[in-house]
Chains A and B, each alone.
Chain A
Amino acid sequence: MMSFIKAAVGGICRAHGHQQGYLKVLAAGLKTYDIPPDYRDVVLPEKPKLKFIEKVPNLKKVRRGMKRLRDIQGPAQAANAFTTGQYAIVAMGGGYLHWGHIEMMRLTINRKMNSRTTFARWRINSPYKPITRKGLGQRMGGGKGAIDHYVTPVRYGRLIVEVGGKVELGEIENILIEVAKKLPFPAKVVSRESLAVLQQKQIDMEQNNQNPWTFKQIAWGNMLGIRKVLSPFDLHNHGRFTGKFHFPGRV
Protein backbone atom coordinates (compact mmCIF):
# COMPACT_ATOMS: atom_id res chain seq x y z
CA MET A 1 0.00 0.00 0.00
CA MET A 2 2.75 2.42 1.07
CA SER A 3 5.05 1.30 -1.75
CA PHE A 4 2.28 1.89 -4.28
CA ILE A 5 1.74 5.45 -3.02
CA LYS A 6 5.48 6.11 -3.00
CA ALA A 7 5.83 4.79 -6.55
CA ALA A 8 2.92 6.98 -7.69
CA VAL A 9 4.29 10.11 -6.04
CA GLY A 10 7.79 9.35 -7.27
CA GLY A 11 6.52 8.82 -10.78
CA ILE A 12 4.66 12.11 -10.80
CA CYS A 13 7.72 13.95 -9.47
CA ARG A 14 10.05 12.34 -11.97
CA ALA A 15 7.77 13.40 -14.77
CA HIS A 16 8.45 17.04 -13.90
CA GLY A 17 12.13 17.01 -14.67
CA HIS A 18 15.57 15.61 -14.04
CA GLN A 19 16.08 17.99 -11.09
CA GLN A 20 13.43 16.19 -9.01
CA GLY A 21 15.64 13.10 -8.48
CA TYR A 22 16.49 14.23 -4.93
CA LEU A 23 12.85 14.45 -3.86
CA LYS A 24 12.10 12.15 -0.90
CA VAL A 25 8.59 10.88 -0.17
CA LEU A 26 7.85 11.21 3.55
CA ALA A 27 5.31 8.56 4.33
CA ALA A 28 4.80 9.43 8.01
CA GLY A 29 1.65 11.48 7.78
CA LEU A 30 0.15 9.85 4.75
CA LYS A 31 -3.30 8.46 5.26
CA THR A 32 -4.07 4.85 4.42
CA TYR A 33 -7.56 4.06 3.33
CA ASP A 34 -8.20 0.62 4.82
CA ILE A 35 -11.77 -0.50 4.67
CA PRO A 36 -13.29 -0.27 8.17
CA PRO A 37 -15.10 -3.38 9.47
CA ASP A 38 -18.74 -3.87 8.66
CA TYR A 39 -21.08 -4.11 11.66
CA ARG A 40 -24.40 -4.29 9.84
CA ASP A 41 -25.19 -7.86 10.97
CA VAL A 42 -24.34 -7.22 14.61
CA VAL A 43 -27.42 -7.15 16.83
CA LEU A 44 -27.01 -5.63 20.26
CA PRO A 45 -29.13 -7.20 22.98
CA GLU A 46 -31.42 -5.13 25.19
CA LYS A 47 -29.36 -5.46 28.35
CA PRO A 48 -25.75 -5.17 27.22
CA LYS A 49 -24.12 -5.08 30.64
CA LEU A 50 -23.10 -8.05 32.77
CA LYS A 51 -25.89 -9.02 35.07
CA PHE A 52 -25.58 -9.29 38.79
CA ILE A 53 -24.56 -12.70 40.12
CA GLU A 54 -25.59 -13.81 43.58
CA LYS A 55 -23.24 -14.77 46.27
CA VAL A 56 -25.26 -17.72 47.52
CA PRO A 57 -27.47 -20.09 45.54
CA ASN A 58 -31.04 -20.13 46.80
CA LEU A 59 -31.51 -23.75 47.79
CA LYS A 60 -34.10 -25.02 50.17
CA LYS A 61 -31.76 -27.57 51.69
CA VAL A 62 -28.14 -26.66 52.06
CA ARG A 63 -25.71 -29.60 52.04
CA ARG A 64 -22.04 -29.52 52.77
CA GLY A 65 -20.18 -31.53 50.15
CA MET A 66 -16.80 -33.17 49.64
CA LYS A 67 -13.87 -31.20 48.37
CA ARG A 68 -13.94 -32.79 44.88
CA LEU A 69 -10.85 -31.00 43.67
CA ARG A 70 -11.14 -32.83 40.39
CA ASP A 71 -13.51 -30.09 39.17
CA ILE A 72 -10.34 -28.01 38.67
CA GLN A 73 -8.33 -30.74 37.04
CA GLY A 74 -7.83 -31.12 33.32
CA PRO A 75 -9.26 -29.36 30.29
CA ALA A 76 -12.75 -27.89 30.13
CA GLN A 77 -15.41 -29.75 28.20
CA ALA A 78 -18.22 -27.20 28.78
CA ALA A 79 -18.26 -23.53 27.72
CA ASN A 80 -15.03 -23.70 25.81
CA ALA A 81 -16.33 -22.24 22.54
CA PHE A 82 -17.78 -18.89 21.54
CA THR A 83 -21.55 -18.36 21.38
CA THR A 84 -22.66 -14.75 20.78
CA GLY A 85 -19.61 -12.60 21.38
CA GLN A 86 -16.42 -11.93 19.45
CA TYR A 87 -13.85 -11.59 22.22
CA ALA A 88 -13.50 -13.39 25.51
CA ILE A 89 -11.37 -14.06 28.52
CA VAL A 90 -10.26 -17.70 28.53
CA ALA A 91 -8.78 -19.48 31.55
CA MET A 92 -5.27 -20.91 31.04
CA GLY A 93 -5.32 -22.85 34.29
CA GLY A 94 -7.74 -24.24 36.84
CA GLY A 95 -9.09 -22.37 39.85
CA TYR A 96 -12.08 -21.26 41.89
CA LEU A 97 -13.85 -17.95 41.29
CA HIS A 98 -15.63 -16.56 44.29
CA TRP A 99 -18.07 -13.71 44.52
CA GLY A 100 -15.33 -11.09 45.00
CA HIS A 101 -13.75 -11.96 41.67
CA ILE A 102 -17.11 -11.98 39.95
CA GLU A 103 -18.06 -8.60 41.38
CA MET A 104 -14.70 -7.14 40.37
CA MET A 105 -15.21 -8.37 36.81
CA ARG A 106 -18.77 -7.12 36.63
CA LEU A 107 -18.05 -3.66 37.97
CA THR A 108 -14.91 -3.10 35.89
CA ILE A 109 -16.42 -4.26 32.64
CA ASN A 110 -19.71 -2.46 33.16
CA ARG A 111 -17.95 0.76 34.03
CA LYS A 112 -15.41 0.71 31.23
CA MET A 113 -17.39 -0.57 28.29
CA ASN A 114 -19.60 1.58 26.09
CA SER A 115 -23.08 0.09 26.48
CA ARG A 116 -24.26 1.55 23.20
CA THR A 117 -21.74 -0.34 21.07
CA THR A 118 -20.69 -3.34 23.15
CA PHE A 119 -22.38 -6.07 25.12
CA ALA A 120 -20.99 -8.61 27.55
CA ARG A 121 -22.16 -12.04 28.67
CA TRP A 122 -21.22 -14.36 31.52
CA ARG A 123 -19.97 -17.82 30.58
CA ILE A 124 -19.64 -19.09 34.14
CA ASN A 125 -22.30 -20.20 36.60
CA SER A 126 -23.03 -18.38 39.78
CA PRO A 127 -21.17 -19.86 42.72
CA TYR A 128 -22.66 -23.18 43.71
CA LYS A 129 -19.89 -25.16 45.35
CA PRO A 130 -19.87 -24.70 49.13
CA ILE A 131 -16.54 -24.19 50.85
CA THR A 132 -16.56 -24.88 54.59
CA ARG A 133 -14.37 -23.36 57.23
CA LYS A 134 -13.94 -24.15 60.87
CA GLY A 135 -13.77 -21.32 63.38
CA LEU A 136 -10.45 -19.72 64.28
CA GLY A 137 -8.36 -21.67 66.72
CA GLN A 138 -10.41 -24.87 66.52
CA ARG A 139 -8.69 -28.17 67.02
CA MET A 140 -8.96 -31.09 64.62
CA GLY A 141 -12.09 -33.14 64.94
CA GLY A 142 -15.56 -32.21 66.01
CA GLY A 143 -17.17 -32.69 62.60
CA LYS A 144 -17.06 -30.73 59.38
CA GLY A 145 -17.05 -26.96 59.53
CA ALA A 146 -19.88 -24.67 58.50
CA ILE A 147 -20.26 -23.32 54.98
CA ASP A 148 -18.21 -20.18 54.63
CA HIS A 149 -18.76 -19.16 51.05
CA TYR A 150 -19.52 -20.51 47.58
CA VAL A 151 -17.25 -20.72 44.58
CA THR A 152 -17.43 -21.56 40.89
CA PRO A 153 -14.84 -24.08 39.71
CA VAL A 154 -13.15 -23.20 36.41
CA ARG A 155 -11.06 -25.55 34.30
CA TYR A 156 -8.40 -24.80 31.72
CA GLY A 157 -9.87 -23.61 28.45
CA ARG A 158 -13.16 -22.31 29.83
CA LEU A 159 -14.46 -18.92 28.73
CA ILE A 160 -15.26 -16.58 31.60
CA VAL A 161 -16.75 -13.50 29.97
CA GLU A 162 -17.71 -13.00 26.37
CA VAL A 163 -17.83 -9.54 24.81
CA GLY A 164 -19.24 -8.57 21.45
CA GLY A 165 -20.75 -5.73 19.49
CA LYS A 166 -19.56 -3.07 17.14
CA VAL A 167 -16.01 -3.00 18.44
CA GLU A 168 -12.60 -4.22 17.42
CA LEU A 169 -10.19 -6.14 19.60
CA GLY A 170 -7.93 -3.18 20.19
CA GLU A 171 -10.70 -1.23 21.90
CA ILE A 172 -11.82 -4.01 24.21
CA GLU A 173 -8.42 -5.64 24.85
CA ASN A 174 -7.32 -3.16 27.51
CA ILE A 175 -10.41 -3.64 29.62
CA LEU A 176 -10.33 -7.40 29.42
CA ILE A 177 -6.61 -7.66 30.15
CA GLU A 178 -7.08 -5.50 33.22
CA VAL A 179 -9.70 -7.95 34.44
CA ALA A 180 -7.80 -11.06 33.38
CA LYS A 181 -4.76 -10.11 35.44
CA LYS A 182 -6.77 -10.09 38.63
CA LEU A 183 -8.17 -13.57 38.26
CA PRO A 184 -6.83 -16.37 40.50
CA PHE A 185 -5.66 -18.43 37.54
CA PRO A 186 -3.69 -17.34 34.46
CA ALA A 187 -6.09 -15.97 31.87
CA LYS A 188 -5.82 -14.65 28.35
CA VAL A 189 -7.85 -12.37 26.12
CA VAL A 190 -8.77 -14.06 22.84
CA SER A 191 -10.90 -13.40 19.83
CA ARG A 192 -12.66 -16.08 17.81
CA GLU A 193 -9.79 -16.24 15.34
CA SER A 194 -7.03 -16.26 17.93
CA LEU A 195 -8.68 -19.07 19.86
CA ALA A 196 -8.91 -21.10 16.68
CA VAL A 197 -5.25 -20.34 16.03
CA LEU A 198 -4.28 -21.59 19.50
CA GLN A 199 -6.20 -24.81 19.04
CA GLN A 200 -4.75 -25.32 15.59
CA LYS A 201 -1.25 -24.70 16.93
CA GLN A 202 -1.68 -27.53 19.43
CA ILE A 203 -2.88 -29.86 16.69
CA ASP A 204 0.06 -28.87 14.47
CA MET A 205 2.48 -29.50 17.31
CA GLU A 206 1.07 -32.97 17.76
CA GLN A 207 1.34 -33.70 14.08
CA ASN A 208 4.79 -32.36 13.28
CA ASN A 209 6.49 -33.55 16.45
CA GLN A 210 9.88 -34.99 15.47
CA ASN A 211 10.25 -36.94 18.68
CA PRO A 212 9.55 -40.61 17.94
CA TRP A 213 8.51 -41.13 21.58
CA THR A 214 5.30 -39.59 22.90
CA PHE A 215 3.84 -39.57 26.39
CA LYS A 216 0.61 -41.03 25.06
CA GLN A 217 2.32 -44.00 23.46
CA ILE A 218 4.42 -44.84 26.48
CA ALA A 219 1.58 -44.39 28.97
CA TRP A 220 -0.91 -46.42 26.92
CA GLY A 221 1.50 -49.25 26.43
CA ASN A 222 2.65 -49.12 30.05
CA MET A 223 6.24 -49.20 28.80
CA LEU A 224 8.82 -49.75 31.57
CA GLY A 225 5.94 -50.16 33.99
CA ILE A 226 5.54 -46.38 34.03
CA ARG A 227 1.87 -46.70 35.10
CA LYS A 228 3.26 -47.22 38.58
CA VAL A 229 4.04 -43.51 38.74
CA LEU A 230 1.28 -42.28 36.41
CA SER A 231 -2.36 -41.85 37.34
CA PRO A 232 -5.41 -42.44 35.12
CA PHE A 233 -5.60 -38.66 34.85
CA ASP A 234 -2.17 -38.62 33.23
CA LEU A 235 -3.31 -41.32 30.86
CA HIS A 236 -6.28 -39.20 29.73
CA ASN A 237 -4.42 -35.93 29.44
CA HIS A 238 -1.08 -37.19 28.03
CA GLY A 239 1.05 -35.34 30.54
CA ARG A 240 -0.21 -31.90 29.54
CA PHE A 241 -1.85 -31.25 32.92
CA THR A 242 -0.78 -31.67 36.53
CA GLY A 243 -3.32 -30.81 39.18
CA LYS A 244 -4.77 -27.50 38.12
CA PHE A 245 -1.74 -26.49 36.03
CA HIS A 246 -1.39 -26.72 32.28
CA PHE A 247 1.93 -27.07 30.46
CA PRO A 248 1.77 -25.21 27.15
CA GLY A 249 4.90 -26.76 25.63
CA ARG A 250 3.79 -30.38 26.00
CA VAL A 251 2.28 -32.34 23.21
Chain B
Amino acid sequence: MAATLCVKLLPKQGWLPFTQSIRHGSKAVTRHKRPVHFLKRKLLAVTQYIPPTRVVPKGAYPSETSRAPEDSDLVIIMKKDLKDLFQDCKMIAVVQNNASSAEDLLILKHKLYKHNISIKFFPNQVIRSFLSDTIYSNMTPLFIGPTVLFVCKERKVKEMLSTLRSSPQMTLLGACIDDTLLSVKGVVSYSKLPSMSVVQGQLVGGLTMLTSHTASMLQRHPAHLSALLQQYIKQQSPGSAEEAT
Protein backbone atom coordinates (compact mmCIF):
# COMPACT_ATOMS: atom_id res chain seq x y z
CA MET B 1 0.00 0.00 0.00
CA ALA B 2 2.81 2.42 0.84
CA ALA B 3 4.54 1.57 -2.44
CA THR B 4 1.40 2.30 -4.50
CA LEU B 5 0.93 5.61 -2.64
CA CYS B 6 4.52 6.62 -3.38
CA VAL B 7 4.06 5.70 -7.05
CA LYS B 8 0.97 7.93 -7.28
CA LEU B 9 2.67 10.85 -5.58
CA LEU B 10 5.64 10.76 -7.99
CA PRO B 11 4.11 9.90 -11.36
CA LYS B 12 7.12 10.81 -13.52
CA GLN B 13 10.67 12.10 -13.38
CA GLY B 14 11.13 15.85 -12.91
CA TRP B 15 7.72 16.63 -11.59
CA LEU B 16 6.51 20.11 -10.78
CA PRO B 17 4.76 20.84 -7.49
CA PHE B 18 1.01 21.10 -7.80
CA THR B 19 0.89 24.54 -6.24
CA GLN B 20 3.34 27.23 -7.17
CA SER B 21 3.89 30.05 -4.78
CA ILE B 22 3.21 32.79 -7.36
CA ARG B 23 0.40 35.18 -6.74
CA HIS B 24 -1.53 35.38 -9.97
CA GLY B 25 -1.84 39.15 -10.26
CA SER B 26 -0.54 40.50 -13.55
CA LYS B 27 1.91 39.18 -16.11
CA ALA B 28 5.49 40.34 -16.44
CA VAL B 29 4.71 42.80 -19.27
CA THR B 30 1.95 45.21 -18.33
CA ARG B 31 0.69 48.54 -19.53
CA HIS B 32 1.17 49.96 -16.03
CA LYS B 33 4.39 49.76 -14.01
CA ARG B 34 4.10 46.66 -11.89
CA PRO B 35 4.62 47.02 -8.15
CA VAL B 36 8.22 46.10 -7.44
CA HIS B 37 9.10 43.67 -4.66
CA PHE B 38 10.51 45.45 -1.62
CA LEU B 39 13.82 43.63 -1.80
CA LYS B 40 14.21 44.45 -5.47
CA ARG B 41 13.39 48.08 -4.69
CA LYS B 42 16.12 48.07 -2.07
CA LEU B 43 18.54 46.52 -4.56
CA LEU B 44 17.71 49.17 -7.16
CA ALA B 45 18.19 51.90 -4.57
CA VAL B 46 21.57 50.54 -3.49
CA THR B 47 22.87 50.04 -7.03
CA GLN B 48 22.00 53.49 -8.35
CA TYR B 49 24.39 55.31 -10.62
CA ILE B 50 26.72 57.67 -8.75
CA PRO B 51 28.40 60.13 -11.12
CA PRO B 52 32.05 61.08 -10.57
CA THR B 53 32.55 64.32 -8.65
CA ARG B 54 33.34 67.22 -10.90
CA VAL B 55 36.89 68.42 -10.37
CA VAL B 56 36.53 72.16 -10.18
CA PRO B 57 39.75 74.19 -10.07
CA LYS B 58 40.21 75.93 -6.73
CA GLY B 59 38.87 79.45 -6.77
CA ALA B 60 36.63 78.88 -9.81
CA TYR B 61 33.44 79.06 -7.73
CA PRO B 62 32.92 80.86 -4.41
CA SER B 63 32.51 78.30 -1.62
CA GLU B 64 28.99 77.80 -0.34
CA THR B 65 29.79 78.11 3.37
CA SER B 66 32.04 81.16 3.38
CA ARG B 67 29.32 83.56 2.20
CA ALA B 68 28.31 85.69 5.19
CA PRO B 69 24.54 86.06 5.61
CA GLU B 70 23.28 89.52 4.70
CA ASP B 71 22.13 91.78 7.52
CA SER B 72 18.48 92.62 7.70
CA ASP B 73 17.45 96.27 7.69
CA LEU B 74 16.85 96.39 11.45
CA VAL B 75 20.35 95.08 12.03
CA ILE B 76 21.74 97.77 9.75
CA ILE B 77 19.93 100.45 11.75
CA MET B 78 21.19 99.01 15.03
CA LYS B 79 24.74 98.93 13.70
CA LYS B 80 24.47 102.57 12.69
CA ASP B 81 23.29 103.43 16.21
CA LEU B 82 26.19 101.50 17.67
CA LYS B 83 28.62 103.34 15.44
CA ASP B 84 27.32 106.73 16.55
CA LEU B 85 27.42 105.55 20.15
CA PHE B 86 31.04 104.49 19.99
CA GLN B 87 31.96 107.75 18.31
CA ASP B 88 30.18 110.10 20.71
CA CYS B 89 30.39 108.44 24.12
CA LYS B 90 33.63 108.50 26.06
CA MET B 91 32.54 105.88 28.57
CA ILE B 92 30.88 102.63 27.57
CA ALA B 93 30.40 100.04 30.32
CA VAL B 94 29.21 96.50 29.76
CA VAL B 95 26.98 95.29 32.58
CA GLN B 96 25.27 91.95 33.01
CA ASN B 97 21.76 92.14 34.43
CA ASN B 98 20.43 88.97 36.04
CA ALA B 99 16.70 88.98 36.65
CA SER B 100 16.16 92.63 37.28
CA SER B 101 12.51 93.52 37.22
CA ALA B 102 11.02 96.44 35.32
CA GLU B 103 10.71 98.42 38.55
CA ASP B 104 14.37 97.94 39.40
CA LEU B 105 15.36 98.97 35.91
CA LEU B 106 13.18 102.05 36.16
CA ILE B 107 14.80 103.13 39.43
CA LEU B 108 18.24 102.44 38.01
CA LYS B 109 17.53 104.42 34.88
CA HIS B 110 16.29 107.34 36.96
CA LYS B 111 19.43 107.30 39.13
CA LEU B 112 21.69 107.15 36.12
CA TYR B 113 19.73 109.79 34.23
CA LYS B 114 20.67 112.30 36.90
CA HIS B 115 24.33 111.79 35.96
CA ASN B 116 23.53 111.79 32.23
CA ILE B 117 24.28 108.06 31.84
CA SER B 118 21.91 106.19 29.53
CA ILE B 119 21.22 102.45 29.34
CA LYS B 120 21.25 100.86 25.89
CA PHE B 121 19.97 97.40 24.91
CA PHE B 122 21.36 95.66 21.80
CA PRO B 123 21.35 91.99 20.75
CA ASN B 124 24.67 90.28 21.40
CA GLN B 125 24.97 88.95 17.85
CA VAL B 126 24.62 92.40 16.35
CA ILE B 127 27.20 93.89 18.74
CA ARG B 128 29.66 91.07 18.11
CA SER B 129 29.41 91.34 14.34
CA PHE B 130 29.74 95.12 14.57
CA LEU B 131 32.71 95.06 16.93
CA SER B 132 34.63 92.51 14.89
CA ASP B 133 35.10 95.12 12.14
CA THR B 134 36.12 98.00 14.40
CA ILE B 135 39.14 98.68 16.60
CA TYR B 136 37.14 97.52 19.63
CA SER B 137 37.28 93.89 18.55
CA ASN B 138 38.83 92.83 21.89
CA MET B 139 35.58 93.72 23.61
CA THR B 140 33.69 90.90 21.93
CA PRO B 141 34.28 88.29 24.71
CA LEU B 142 32.45 90.60 27.12
CA PHE B 143 29.16 90.28 25.26
CA ILE B 144 28.01 86.87 26.44
CA GLY B 145 24.72 86.42 28.26
CA PRO B 146 22.21 89.12 29.14
CA THR B 147 24.32 92.24 28.69
CA VAL B 148 23.40 95.88 28.78
CA LEU B 149 25.40 98.93 27.76
CA PHE B 150 25.83 101.94 30.05
CA VAL B 151 26.95 104.87 27.94
CA CYS B 152 27.89 108.38 28.89
CA LYS B 153 29.45 111.33 27.13
CA GLU B 154 31.46 112.29 30.23
CA ARG B 155 33.61 110.00 32.31
CA LYS B 156 31.37 109.59 35.33
CA VAL B 157 32.78 106.35 36.65
CA LYS B 158 32.43 106.99 40.40
CA GLU B 159 28.75 107.83 40.14
CA MET B 160 28.12 104.78 37.97
CA LEU B 161 29.89 102.48 40.41
CA SER B 162 27.94 103.86 43.36
CA THR B 163 24.67 103.33 41.50
CA LEU B 164 25.63 99.80 40.53
CA ARG B 165 26.50 98.99 44.14
CA SER B 166 22.93 99.81 45.08
CA SER B 167 21.43 97.28 42.61
CA PRO B 168 22.69 93.77 43.36
CA GLN B 169 21.52 92.23 40.06
CA MET B 170 23.77 94.32 37.86
CA THR B 171 27.34 93.06 37.55
CA LEU B 172 29.97 95.15 35.85
CA LEU B 173 31.93 93.11 33.30
CA GLY B 174 34.19 95.70 31.77
CA ALA B 175 34.31 99.15 30.30
CA CYS B 176 35.80 101.08 27.42
CA ILE B 177 36.83 104.55 28.62
CA ASP B 178 38.56 106.86 26.17
CA ASP B 179 39.19 103.98 23.75
CA THR B 180 40.92 102.00 26.46
CA LEU B 181 39.56 98.67 27.55
CA LEU B 182 39.40 98.30 31.33
CA SER B 183 38.49 95.32 33.49
CA VAL B 184 36.45 95.68 36.69
CA LYS B 185 39.59 96.26 38.77
CA GLY B 186 40.77 98.79 36.25
CA VAL B 187 37.47 100.63 36.44
CA VAL B 188 37.61 100.72 40.24
CA SER B 189 41.18 102.05 40.23
CA TYR B 190 40.18 104.56 37.54
CA SER B 191 37.43 105.82 39.78
CA LYS B 192 39.90 106.21 42.67
CA LEU B 193 42.13 108.41 40.51
CA PRO B 194 42.05 112.13 41.40
CA SER B 195 40.47 114.47 38.92
CA MET B 196 42.37 115.95 36.01
CA SER B 197 43.02 119.36 37.59
CA VAL B 198 44.44 117.74 40.72
CA VAL B 199 46.73 115.52 38.72
CA GLN B 200 47.88 118.42 36.57
CA GLY B 201 48.60 120.47 39.67
CA GLN B 202 50.64 117.61 41.14
CA LEU B 203 52.61 117.28 37.93
CA VAL B 204 53.34 120.98 37.78
CA GLY B 205 54.33 120.95 41.43
CA GLY B 206 56.67 118.06 40.91
CA LEU B 207 58.34 119.71 37.95
CA THR B 208 58.76 123.08 39.58
CA MET B 209 59.73 121.64 42.97
CA LEU B 210 63.38 122.65 42.83
CA THR B 211 62.80 126.16 41.50
CA SER B 212 59.99 126.75 43.98
CA HIS B 213 62.21 125.54 46.83
CA THR B 214 64.93 127.97 45.74
CA ALA B 215 62.42 130.76 45.39
CA SER B 216 61.03 130.13 48.88
CA MET B 217 64.54 130.10 50.37
CA LEU B 218 65.37 133.40 48.68
CA GLN B 219 62.19 134.94 49.97
CA ARG B 220 63.14 134.30 53.59
CA HIS B 221 65.42 136.58 55.68
CA PRO B 222 68.90 136.93 54.13
CA ALA B 223 70.53 136.08 57.45
CA HIS B 224 68.92 132.67 57.32
CA LEU B 225 70.26 132.19 53.81
CA SER B 226 73.81 133.26 54.76
CA ALA B 227 73.75 130.92 57.78
CA LEU B 228 72.70 128.07 55.50
CA LEU B 229 75.47 128.85 53.02
CA GLN B 230 78.12 128.99 55.81
CA GLN B 231 77.00 125.61 57.06
CA TYR B 232 77.19 124.27 53.60
CA ILE B 233 80.82 125.49 53.20
CA LYS B 234 81.69 123.96 56.56
CA GLN B 235 80.24 120.69 55.41
CA GLN B 236 82.18 120.81 52.25
CA SER B 237 85.61 121.74 53.73
CA PRO B 238 85.66 119.19 56.60
CA GLY B 239 84.47 116.65 54.12
CA SER B 240 87.42 117.40 51.85
CA ALA B 241 89.81 117.60 54.92
CA GLU B 242 88.65 114.18 56.09
CA GLU B 243 89.20 112.79 52.64
CA ALA B 244 92.76 114.21 52.52
CA THR B 245 93.66 112.64 55.84
Pairwise interchain contact A226-B49, C-beta atoms closer than 8 A: no
Contacts of B34 in A (CB 8 A): 242-243
The answer to whether A94 has its CB under 8 Å from any CB of chain B is yes
Contacts of B43 in A (CB 8 A): 215, 218, 226, 230, 239
- What 3 pairs between A and B have smallest CB-CB spacing? A69-B29, A210-B50, A229-B37
Contacts of B50 in A (CB 8 A): 209-211
Pairwise interchain contact B28-A215, C-beta atoms closer than 8 A: no
A224 CA / B52 CA spacing, docked (Å) = 27
- For the complex formed, measure the closest distance between the CB of A65 and the CB atoms of chain B, giving whole angstroms: 16
Interface residues of B, dominant DSSP: loop
Q: In residues 176-231 of chain A, which contact B (Cβ within 8 Å)?
A: 205, 208-211, 213-215, 218, 224, 226, 228-231
The answer to whether A73 has its CB under 8 Å from any CB of chain B is yes
Contacts of A208 in B (CB 8 A): 51-52
- For the complex formed, measure the closest distance between the CB of A31 and the CB atoms of chain B, giving whole angstroms: 36
Tally chain A residues at the interface, Cβ within 8 Å: 31
The answer to whether A116 has its CB under 8 Å from any CB of chain B is no
User: Which of B's residues lie within 8 Å of A, judged by CB?
Assistant: 27-30, 33-34, 36-37, 39-40, 43-44, 46-53
User: Which of A's residues lie within 8 Å of B, judged by CB?
Assistant: 67, 69-70, 72-73, 94, 205, 208-211, 213-215, 218, 224, 226, 228-231, 233-234, 239, 242-245, 249-251
Q: Which residue of A lies closest to B28 (CB)?
A: A243
29 residue pairs of the A-B complex, CB under 8 angstroms, read A69-B29, A70-B28, A72-B29, A73-B29, A205-B49, A208-B52, A209-B49, A211-B48, A213-B46, A213-B47, A215-B47, A218-B43, A218-B46, A218-B47, A224-B39, A226-B39, A226-B40, A228-B39, A229-B37, A230-B43, A234-B40, A239-B43, A243-B28, A243-B29, A243-B34, A249-B48, A250-B48, A250-B49, A251-B49
* Known contacts A229-B39, A245-B33, A69 near B47 by CB under 8 Å: no
Pairwise interchain contact B36-A242, C-beta atoms closer than 8 A: yes
A38 CA / B29 CA spacing, docked (Å) = 46
